């Protein structure tokens, strides 16, 4: 599945289930999921609550955050696949080991 396909399917599902909700609601959902990811990661790092499956919680939180962001992008008319591809093209050019101040060689 491509990011674009995911975004289309999420948009269709979300509009069916939640109608024309404002885009800040899926944005807040994504933020909540990032908090859940941080929580699961912290508990795993601390090696506490060992009765919980922290790995499964992290996977679920990552996936939920992506789904919420796909909904947000659809409602904001952002082509998520193009945005990720374009931004990744810039980020991947950075070499922080060679260029620790700016990430890229200065001209």
Which domains, and CATH codes, for the chain?
3-91 (1.10.287.1080)
Whole-model pTM: value is 0.92
**pLDDT higher for 104 or 88?**
88
Mean pLDDT, to the nearest integer, of 75-93? Answer: 97
What was the pLDDT predicted at 18?
98
- What pLDDT does 105 receive? 79
- What would the pLDDT profile of 20-65 be if each residue is shown by its tens digit? 999 999 999 999 999 999 999 999 999 999 999 999 999 999 999 9
SS (H, E, C) 56-74: HHHHHHHHHHHHHHHHHHH
Q: Which two tokens stand for residue 22?
A: 């404002």
Torsion angle in degrees (nearest 10) through CA of 12, 14, 15, 18? 160
């Amino acid at each position: 599945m491509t990011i674009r396909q995911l975004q289309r399917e999420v948009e269709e599902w979300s509009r069916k289930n939640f109608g024309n909700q404002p885009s800040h609601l899926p944005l807040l959902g994504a933020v909540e999921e990032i908090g859940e990811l941080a929580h699961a990661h912290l508990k795993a790092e601390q090696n506490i609550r060992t009765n919980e499956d922290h790995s499964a919680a992290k996977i679920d939180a990552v996936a939920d955050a992506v789904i919420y962001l796909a909904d947000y992008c659809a409602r904001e008319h952002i082509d998520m696949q193009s945005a990720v591809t374009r931004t990744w093209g810039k980020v991947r050019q950075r070499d922080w080991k060679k260029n620790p101040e700016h990430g890229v060689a200065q001209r």
